[in-house]
Amino acid sequence: SSPDFLVEIYTHSFFARMDDEVAVITGANSGVGLAVAKRLLVEVASTRQLRLCLACRNMEKAEVTRQTLLREHPGAKIDLLQVDTSSPESAVNAAKEIKKRYTGLRWLYCNAGIMPLGGMDWRLLLTLRRSVWAHLFSTGEGLINHIDWTMDNGIQAVFSTNVLGHYLMIKELEEYLIDQEQPCHIIWTSSNTARFVKMDPEDIQDRKGISPYPSSKKLMDLISLNLNRCLNSYGVYSDTTCPGMVVSQMTLTIMPSFLWHVILPIIFLIRVFITHFITFDPLNGAEALIWLSKQNPATLDHTIKYFSRKPPINKTYVLQEKIDVSDQLLNDVMQALNNISQPYLSETVTSK
């Protein structure tokens, strides 16, 4: 790509109005993140002064996404922000840029993530037991072999990308969010896989385990609970969601795309007789995130997790389920997370 093109991207003009309601979406150029952007433009922008900020790692792809959205919604306010959530430094810098650009932040969608896989155990698909199929297609547990690696900074890649980068952004933004006049709603793209994780406070990166992706999603649930405990009184709220099983760039790595089409009849039967967890289309998967976006966050129960569900015929709906965790585990996990985060945060943040 030419330097001129990159300069044009990085110097995109931002004329945010005081009454703009800014929505920052990480990982917004594909999958659930893109679906959230599309649905916000259709379902929220018509009644509110919405300004989207697509926070992505690859700026060229983000600009293509931005132009596509602008063709569909001429006049929409859409900005770009570079962030690589696998890099603590990039995450902190992105948060600082948000503070420079905007007078407030109405929504922060912590959506970017990776799910590196080492293959599947196809033998499990041969079972005919209904309970096994329901479990496999709602959690992937036993069916999917997760992998991970240690980055140059000594941090595990899945933990850093899915959790740490977002947490650092929030911590860097914390004082800014507390001081702003409007409420801020932080909405996480978690997963059903978090249900079955037994979190070890001494190994929150899952270095010793075999489930780095489910563990990262469990951490999101715990972080969200703690953010509410600390920040609700200041007008900052947090909730976690599960988009269900969607076909996206992430899930397409599980098996070749042609196999997805081969098993479509099976998926349809599962949706009819077993579970509505398979939402398939990212626009369906975004249902819980969009539903939350339309609520007054001060009226919600933030100990609830919100699940997108799609029956084969009827409209999508949101399932609610209590997040059950002990105070001791929550405290221990947050202490471990803060110990990892502290070296990357500004002195004004770490001193609080």
> Which residues are known to be catalytic?
213
- Cβ proximity of 222 and 198 under 8 Å: no
What gap in Å lies between CA 130 and CA 136, rounded to an integer?
10
Q: Are 248 and 30 in contact (CB under 8 A)?
A: yes
CA distance 213 to 114: 8
Q: Which helix (H) or strand (E) holds 50?
A: strand 50-56
CB-count exposure of residue 260 (10 Å: 0-12, 13-18, 19+): middle
- Cα separation, 343 vs 299, in Å, equals 35
Query: Cα 43 vs. chain centroid, distance in angstroms?
Result: 20
Q: Which of 106, 111, 97, 52 is nearest to 76 (CA)?
A: 52
CB count in 10 Å sphere of residue 119:
10
Q: Which two tokens stand for residue 45?
A: 């922008």
* CA 47 distance to own-chain centroid: 25
Of 138, 135, 143, 130, nearest in space to 276 by CA: 138
Please give the single-letter amino acid code of residue 142. Answer: G
Nearest to 136 by CA among 241, 319, 242, 270: 270
Tokens of 233: 């009184």
CA distance 107 to 84: 19
Contacts 24+ apart (CB under 8 A), 72-75: 72/38, 72/41, 73/41, 73/42, 73/45
